[in-house]
Amino acid sequence: MRKMAEYVPEIGNSDEYDCKRYIDKIIKTNREIFIMSSLLEKPMCGYDIIKEIFLKCNVFLSQGTVYPVLYSLEEEGILYAEYSKGDMRSKKYSLTLKGKEIAQKNIDEFIKSINHLTFLIQR
């Protein structure tokens, strides 16, 4: 099973700002895929998803960006939420079986699209 983190390269010092700007746009535009990719690894609360994406990609997604996606995916049956033990304020989100299939399909399509665009640009 492929995960998004395997495909996000380290940013070197030379063109760090330009790369960061493009990576930031790509991740924010495709935030649903990156959120689902994080949840493929393990169930997490929204805050942990934000931390995970920041640590892996060096891109900050705000709560106002992440939680609407989580609520929408839950409504679509792609993930489910349950309160964390001992903390009724915090929900842990997990992908459903349907959600895991959709996440993997979307990740594969995203990677193919990025590879295709890279090929077209380098021609």
Q: What range defines the domain where residue 41 resides?
A: 4-122
Mean pLDDT of 114-120: 94
Angle between helix 31-41 and 97-122 (nearest 10):
130
Residue with tokens 């295709």, as numbered in its chain: 116
- pLDDT grade for 7, boundaries at 50, 70 and 90: very low
CB within 8 A of 74, min separation 6: which ones? 80, 81, 93
Look at residue 46 in the predicted model and tell me its pLDDT: 96
How many domains does the chain fold into?
Answer: 1
* CB-CB contact of 32 with 87 (8 Å): no
pTM of the model: 0.81
Listed in sequence order, the residues at least 6 apart from 25 whose beta carbon sits closer than 8 Å to its beta carbon are none
Q: CA of 14: how far to CAs of 10, 62, 68, 104, 113, in Å?
A: 12, 28, 36, 33, 26
| Residue-level pLDDT at 3 | 53
What are the tens digits of pLDDT across the range 38-84?
A: 999 999 999 999 999 999 999 999 999 999 999 999 999 999 999 87
pLDDT averaged over every residue in the chain = 89
Residue 39: CB atoms within 10 Å: 24
Output the domain CATH number for residue 52. Answer: 1.10.10.10
